[in-house]
Copies of this chain bind each other. A is one copy, B any other.
Amino acid sequence: MERSYDDELKDRDFGDYIYETPYWIIFLAPNQSNIGTCVIALKRHYGSLSGLKDEEWVDFGRTVKQLENTFKKVFKPTLFNWGALMNADYLNENPDPHVHWHLIPRYKEKIEFGGIIFEDPYFGSMHPRPILKIPQTIRKKIIDEIKKNL
């Protein structure tokens, strides 16, 4: 039986659904060490950026603009890291990667949201840091803020 993209995406732990565009689905990432970190996953199941169609790139570009503009209103990050790494899947014996982007808002100053202080101690670099899981109630508030400001 052919798997739907819903099945594909559910297995991948991209986070909580926020909204979707014609070709992409935007999730609030599991790791919120930088508040607002998102995963932007291709709706169809495909494994590398080199197979994206022109219209998928154009739609991605519009999504970049929409998300950056939304975040500038909501959490006011200093800048945005965007990356499509494809790393983790290749640690499996039979890699079956799915195209997705990481959007990591970066903050020069710490910010408070829902009673939690979010700091970005390695602002200006990609130094690894521990995963930060936050309560589901705060995740829902973050998603609501994003959706209100799209």
Q: Is A79 an interface residue (CB 8 A)?
A: yes
Does the CB pair B91–A86 fall under 8 Å? no
Does the CB pair A87–B106 fall under 8 Å? yes
The interface residues of chain A, by DSSP majority, are classed as mixed
Report the bound CA distance from A65 to B145 in whole Å.
36
Residue of B nearest to A95 (CB): B79
Chain B residue contacts of A48, Cβ below 8 A: 68, 79-80
Q: Is A52 an interface residue (CB 8 A)?
A: yes
Q: Is A64 an interface residue (CB 8 A)?
A: yes
Does the CB pair B57–A91 fall under 8 Å? no
Does the CB pair B79–A97 fall under 8 Å? yes
Q: Is A60 an interface residue (CB 8 A)?
A: yes
Chain B residue contacts of A51, Cβ below 8 A: 65
The one of B49, B84, B91, B124 in contact with A88, judged by C-beta atoms closer than 8 angstroms, is B124
